[in-house]
Structure 1
Amino acid sequence: MKKQTVLITDAARSQDEQYRSRQIRYVTMMGARAACVILGAILVSVHPPLLGLWLIFCAAGMVFLPWAAVLIANDRPARSKEERAAAAAERDYEQAVLAQHAAEPEPVEYLTIDGEHWVSEHDRKT
């Protein structure tokens, strides 16, 4: 009997797993595009009823599937509810810190450099 593994962490999937799943989605969608090309060629040679409508569907698949495949393949997985809550809490904390520092301006000391040569007290006596 096969043992079931138990997930004991709520960590996100590894980058390699995410990349592999995006690759599979991309190849699947591009395979569907190739199927649209082949189906369009078969339909043209067979001349079924409503040929124009079928060719429009095939052309739409050939045009829109590559665009959608690239968008989906480059998209990262959605963040979980806990990740969104943690990000919002971090953003709120950063805004509170920035607001606190903006409310209490620190005095700024500027360095003024004079064009004339400075002579120290020690140089004047000698």
Structure 2
Amino acid sequence: MKRQAYRPILITDASQSQDDQLTTRQRRYIAMMGVRVACLIVGAILVGARTPLLWLWLPLLAVGMLVVPWLAVLLANDRPPKERHRLANRFRARRQTEAPAMSLTAEERPHKIIDGEP
């Protein structure tokens, strides 16, 4: 039987660097806090202008000002998920059960018998 070929690790399979992850999380945090500031400014404008349906708009903006910062902190402290698939261990276990065939002696291994007679 053939040995399994060595599979090199490709650079495209490498995970994102720590600095890139931090930069991405910082940008997401700043964008979400920008949404919070926008909710605050829009709420102040609506109150100053005494718009109709103010009783509907202010609670919606207040929820935005309270929920968005909480989500921003959670997402800023969270790292990206691991690249491995959840079922990778199951597939690896199957390969390991098939692997003992490689450890058999030459006589014990299954092999083709080719007859030279027609």
Task: Select the residue among 47, 69, 72 that pairs with 1:69.
Answer: 72
Q: Equivalent residue for 2:85?
A: 84
Structure 2 gaps of 5+ residues are 1-9, 94-118
- CA deviations on 1:27-81 (whole Å, 9 max, x unpaired) are 000011011111111000111111011001110011001100001111111222x
2:62 aligned with 1:59, yes or no?
Answer: yes
Q: Equivalent residue for 1:22?
A: 25
What TM-score do the two structures reach when normalised by structure 2?
A: 0.63
Q: Equivalent residue for 2:113?
A: none
Structure 1 residue identity aligned to 2:89: A
Q: Equivalent residue for 1:34?
A: 37
Hey, which bits of structure 1, 4+ residues long, moved more than 4 A? none
Distance 1:58 1:85 in 2: 39
> Which has the larger Rg?
1
State the identity as a percent. 55
SS of residue matched to 2:85 = helix
Structure 2 residue identity aligned to 1:74: N
Over the aligned positions, Cα root-mean-square deviation in angstroms equals: 2.6
Q: Equivalent residue for 1:95?
A: none
SS of residue matched to 1:9 = helix
Distance 2:66 2:29 in 1: 15
Change (3 A) 1:59 1:42: same
Q: Equivalent residue for 1:122?
A: none
